[in-house]
Amino acid sequence: MIYEVDFWGTKRKLPLCPVNGDLYIAAFNMLGDNELTELLAEEAYKRIENIDFDLIVTAECKGIAFAQGVSRLLFERKGQSFFVVARKGFKLYMNDPVSVGVNSITTEKEQRLWLSGDEADKLKGKRVIIADDVISTGNTVDAVRILLEKAGAVTVAELCVFAEGAAVNRKDIIYLKELPLFDKCGKLLA
């Protein structure tokens, strides 16, 4: 089963995957898709260019391409020189790390998000936008926000490619497209 998405004339087919019981989601993965990444970064830039913020933060892994694309435009047009990735595993280079637990709709068990002490220092006192590929339950962006608070940063906006399911009703996120949920037969859920 496939769900086709039209990104302003650029189309992609997303496979439907079971989450639990009768609930299926359209799996979105822009990693390696340069054409789509550039298009989405440009659309996202238009939505955030007038927000007062210092940098973009994303969670590993699928949000990285989106954050990189938006950050590239921010560097070219405003001189913002970096973005930060909250890692899903501890790395040896992480001195004095900060971490927080997260349960995502697309993973089976709790994971931890990590920032090295150096990254946390870069974030202290900064105003940030959290960028992700899909916001559904909001668990990942909530965990990133808590991680940023531990590092001394303030979240000023949450940006994503897709608001999935009930997330489309949230007034606190900026999204580019809506992504519905599906039943086991591939029909849209109300």
What is the C-alpha to C-alpha distance for residues 139 and 137, in angstroms, rounded to an integer?
A: 5
For residue 182, the model assigns a pLDDT of 96
Contact between residue 20 and residue 106 where contact means Cβ atoms under 8 Å apart:
no
* pLDDT at position 102: 76
List the domain boundaries for the chain: 36-178
The neighbour count for residue 162, using CB atoms within 10 Å, is 24
C-alpha span between 190 and 185 (Å, rounded): 14
pLDDT at residue number 65: 95
pLDDT at position 104, please? 64
**Amino acid letter, 100:** V
Q: Which residues of the chain have pLDDT under 70?
A: 104-108, 190
How much is the pTM? 0.92
**63-78 vs 34-48: helix crossing angle, rounded to 10:** 60
User: Angle at CA 156, nearest 5°, toward 31 and 49?
Assistant: 65
DSSP E strand boundaries for the chain: 2-7, 10-20, 23-26, 55-59, 84-86, 98-102, 111-115, 127-135, 154-164, 173-179
Which of these CATH numbers, 3.40.30.10, 3.40.50.2300, 3.40.50.2020, 3.10.20.340, describes 36-178? 3.40.50.2020
CA distance 155 to 141: 10
pLDDT of residue 11: 97
Question: What pLDDT score does 110 carry?
Answer: 75
Q: Which of 67, 80, 40 is nearest to 176 (CA)?
A: 40
The pLDDT score that the predictor gives to residue 117 is 92
Query: What is the model's pLDDT at position 17?
Result: 94
Please report the pLDDT score of residue 44 as a whole number. 97
